[in-house]
Chain A
Amino acid sequence: MLNKYPLWKNLVILIALVIGFVYALPNVFPDDFAVQITGARSSTDVDQRILDRAVDALEAEGIAVKSTEMQERDALIRLNSAEAQLRARPVVQEAVGRDYLVALNMAPSTPEWLKSLGAGPMKLGLDLRGGVHFLLEVDMETAVDQRLEAMSGQIKRELREERVRYRGGDVEGDRSIVLTFRDEASRSEAFQLIRDQYNQFLLDEQSEDGEYRLVLTMSEAEIKSIQDYALEQNLTTIRNRVNELGVAEPLVQRQGSDRIIVELPGVQDTAAAKRVLGATANLEFRLEARQDAPAASTETFPFRDNPNREARLERDVIVTGDNVSNAQQAFDENGQPQVNITMDSVGGDLMNRATRNAIGRRMAVLFIEYRTETEEVVVDGETRTVDNRVVEKGIISLATIQSALGSSFRITGLDSIPEASELALLLRAGSLAAPMYFVQERTIGPSLGQKNIDAGMMSVLLGFVLVLCYMVVYYRGFGVIANIALTLNLMLLIACMSILSATLTLPGIAGIVLTVGMAVDANVLIFERIKEELKMGVPPQSAINAGYSRAFVSIFDANITTLLVAVILFAMGSGPVKGFAVTLSIGILTSMFSGLMVSRSIVNLVYGGRKVEKLSIGGKLANV
């Protein structure tokens, strides 16, 4: 029968709408103000005892606790207002002590039965909830240079151990290592050795002026993999440091080939955050030079805590901070502070080889810090600022090697616990693979966040209501149907965004507003078609059918092209543009569903399967 959906089709639409309703529902419940307690170290667990202690302290201060909750890694205390939340934080911190981190949080108040279905509210972007956004750039040049240095050290050691005589072996300006040999035999021996063990180098044999040279160049693939590794390592380090900051729901994400985005909701003190995140540093473990070592193979460095004290170190680096996997302050058998260091397997291996013949000598840990300093320079009579990347190197530890070291060893003989924890912190901080620089930073105050939410909501609502009025005035009965479809569309859009746990940002709200405006387009197209058919004298039932099927091609083409643009936006854009693209794409899909299927289903329910003389579609022509 014309304009009658089979039962199953109505059911499918109904089920889709019910699912949409359920998943959109959590957004109705406002977030609770909460404080979150987490262990400062991954080994520290939060238990009921700690939670009780915090709650008792809050009650003693007269701060009402709404509810408490133990989660896997942390505990959550819900409070009644933003003011209570601000007051509660220091109280809780005091009660639980320094082993725990207390962070402000907004906890969703989704009811249990919804949660069990996996439903949750949309996440709010930084621009809506306040916080800090950083973009860090990893210095890839340095990452590659560092690795080359380490490689050159290894190769030279290898050659010495195999008793192959060579000259040179340092890294040249063009990132190659040139080894010079006295005869062809030793060169081919070296060639064999390097080819077998260091396949990341391209080898080139050159002979000049009776010198036999071997030029090592790093392969492109190796450079690429060093860069990938550096970024991954930095990501991990940043994640750990962010955890140390105790921020609820931080975001650490790679962007492109050399950048890292860090978003810290709720944080206002950028300086503190940057101190922790921005400590771009590295470590080098080197042996102290022997008294008789030639000056060319040694370097002199000051101590970090006392610039007047200096030590002469070998130029060769045993291992760098890249190989340090962990460093912890602890106590030795006599209760004296010490620092336990764990190396990865490569690091342990290198450390063992370097130290087994050096027992009794001293090993230094060199701390290398990268900073950006701004300087004003006069160029062509114009004053402009130039940023200089400053490298500062200082010795943080010089200790006697008492036995051959492996992948796990300790530094003892430290004077105090603070000194030991400071050293452990520096060691951990220095295990960055490559230095990083801040290239972008945004702070959004909490008041602005709320203002943005209010403004966004207001404009969505007003725009929505205006469109509803417009449609009813213009299309009467069919306008009402379009409005129902539009409302359901908005619900589906929110449900989809919640299911995908997409982040709602201000441009995202703009995308929703735009979708509302454009979503009616499908129905406008259909209704205009129906009117045309009626004008040509087609009976109402056939007009409805023809209107929907004829308009489909236009709607499909128009939406697909727009969707293409939205997808390109998503792929090419960053930050705000992405948020906009996500809502726009989802909006196009849901509006096609609601504009075509849902509105048709309602039209069928109203008009289908019976004799209809007249359609309520507005305009004089509908009566013809």
Chain B
Amino acid sequence: MSEVEKKPIDFMGFRKIASVVSIALIVISVALLATRGLNYGLDFTGGTSVELEYQQAPALSNIRQTLEAAGYEQFVVQNFGSDTTVLVRMAEAENDQLAVEVVEALKAGGAELDLVSSSFIGSQVGEQLKEDSGLGLLIALAVVLIYVGMRFQFKFGIAAVLPLAHDVIIVLGVFSLFGWTFDLTVLAALLAVIGYSLNDTIVVADRIRENFRKMREGDSEHIINESIHQTISRTINTSGTTLVVLLALYFLGGEAINNFALALIIGVVVGTYSSIYVSANLLVALGVAREDLIVPPKEGLAGQEEEEEQPPEWLNRM
């Protein structure tokens, strides 16, 4: 890191390129979502899934034939984790006995197998979940906008929320591109990405605010650049530790949690990038100026601390 310390990298020098990249990624993601859509998991579509553990690795085509012969339509048979574990997914969302029937049909074929897990989700539950989740995301973003708008300033609020939307859209775009299953755990990951990316954005924004109040010279772009430079090693270290943990989760956490870890890994990478290039970039574009952040002198106690926001007094005593 030592070269970085000596001469600040001109982060904002890349801002035009970064803008193009971000906009391109968003456009591509939206286009993908519009055309390919998401591969919604059972949680959202409703349906039945059965996970089976065979004694010996079965031929998937045999299973398909057996099921077709038993009169089933619209099903997917795939290996799940290992070659002895088989996952059967069906779109059928009305018959809650289906899982049992499928196991019986396959057992009738003479194969030795155990039911590992099965799910049946009625279509109405899935629909509602989609609505609730969308609403949850929007509320989360709105609350963040309000909080940051109050704690910092409205321009910062925008600069905090847009990167979050940016991150969410890109992660969704990647999921759409590769056709990875989007289920409840991925939704949870997406919300965690919001939390994480927000964390990052706020730390940078906090430093920008501090520097605007402290540094008497230089234009906005210079101050923002300096702030990013000052926080870059923290940003890299925190992302690094988080990524290390997520990689452990991805490789060891088991099949059920793979997509969760994947969504978070992409989200953390994109979120780190966005807290620098989308958030700070937006601040420059919105024309944040020193006047936006100088605490008005009339604000009682705060007025005496014009230089920078002091932590509460109790903390100094710690």
Contact = CB atoms under 8 A, between A and B. Distances in A.
Interface stretch (B25-33, B60-68, B117-125, B289-297): B117-125
Interface of B: 1-2, 5, 51, 53, 92, 94-97, 99-100, 114-122, 124-125, 129, 132-133, 135-136, 139-140, 143-144, 147-148, 151, 184-185, 187-189, 191-192, 194-196, 198-200, 202-203, 206-207, 210, 230-231, 233-234, 237-238, 240-246, 248-249, 251-254, 256-257, 260-261, 264, 309-312, 315-316, 318
Given A506-B256, A516-B245, A445 B116 contact: yes
A80 interface: no
Contact of A443 (B95, B119, B309): B119
A463 B248 contact: yes
Among B121, B203, B233, chain A packs the most CB atoms within 10 A around the CB of: B203
Interface stretch (A14-22, A45-53, A154-162, A557-565): A557-565
Among B121, B194, B195, chain A packs the most CB atoms within 10 A around the CB of: B195
A524 B151 contact: no
B100 A580 contact: no
A505 B1 CA distance: 40
Contact of B244 (A451, A517, A573): A517
Contact of B253 (A459, A470, A577): A459
Interface in A452-471: 452, 455-456, 458-459, 462-464, 466-467, 470-471
A301 interface: no
Contacts of A443: 99, 115, 117-119
Contacts of A456: 253-254, 257
A208 B237 CA distance: 82
B248 A459 contact: yes
A576 B5 contact: no
Interface of A: 5, 9, 127, 135, 137, 268, 270-271, 274, 372, 374, 385-387, 437-445, 447-448, 451-452, 455-456, 458-459, 462-464, 466-467, 470-471, 474, 506-507, 509-511, 513-514, 516-518, 520-521, 524-525, 528, 532, 535, 545, 548-550, 552-554, 556-562, 564-566, 568-569, 572-577, 580-581, 584, 596-597, 600, 619-621
Given A448-B116, A510-B249, A569 B202 contact: no
A407 B143 CA distance: 55
7 contacts: A459-B249, A466-B244, A466-B245, A520-B241, A565-B191, A573-B187, A573-B191
Contact of A441 (B119, B147, B184, B192): B119
A562 B199 contact: yes
A561 B245 contact: no
Given A445-B114, A448-B51, A517 B132 contact: no
A467 B245 contact: yes
B252 A458 contact: yes
Contact of B191 (A439, A462, A569): A569
B117 A444 contact: yes
A447 B53 contact: yes
Contacts of B253: 455-456, 459, 509-510, 513
A5 B316 CA distance: 11
Contacts of B264: 514
B105 to A, nearest CB: 15
A577 B191 contact: yes
A97 B192 CA distance: 52
B254 A572 contact: no
A389 B231 CA distance: 62
Contacts of B311: 549-550, 552-553, 556
B191 A438 contact: no
Contacts of B234: 524-525, 528
Contacts of B132: 572-574
A181 to B, nearest CB: 43
Contacts, number: 257
Given A438-B122, A458-B252, A557-B202, A572 B133 contact: yes
A564 to B, nearest CB: 5
Contacts of A562: 195-196, 198-199
A573 B136 contact: yes
Nearest to A566: B195
A-B residue pairs, 10 tightest by C-beta: A463-B245, A439-B122, A572-B136, A517-B242, A455-B254, A517-B245, A463-B248, A441-B120, A562-B195, A552-B311
Nearest to A470: B241
Nearest to A565: B195
B244 A506 contact: no
Contacts of A274: 96
B96 A462 contact: no
Given A438-B96, A507-B260, A584-B195, A467 B244 contact: yes
A565 B185 contact: no
A373 B90 CA distance: 18
B81 to A, nearest CB: 9
A387 B94 CA distance: 6
Given A558-B203, A561-B148, A561-B199, A440 B120 contact: yes
Contacts of B118: 270, 441-443
A271 B98 CA distance: 11
B256 A520 contact: no
B43 to A, nearest CB: 8
A452 to B, nearest CB: 6
Given A372-B96, A466-B245, A554-B206, A548 B191 contact: no
A132 to B, nearest CB: 9
Given A438-B96, A443-B115, A455-B254, A564 B241 contact: no
A451 B84 CA distance: 15
A317 to B, nearest CB: 30
Contacts of B143: 564-565, 568
Contact of B257 (A455, A467, A565): A455
Contacts of B185: 506-507, 510, 576
Nearest to A437: B122
A551 B184 CA distance: 35
A569 B124 contact: no
Contact of B184 (A549, A561, A577): A577
Given A445-B114, A463-B244, A548-B315, A528 B233 contact: yes
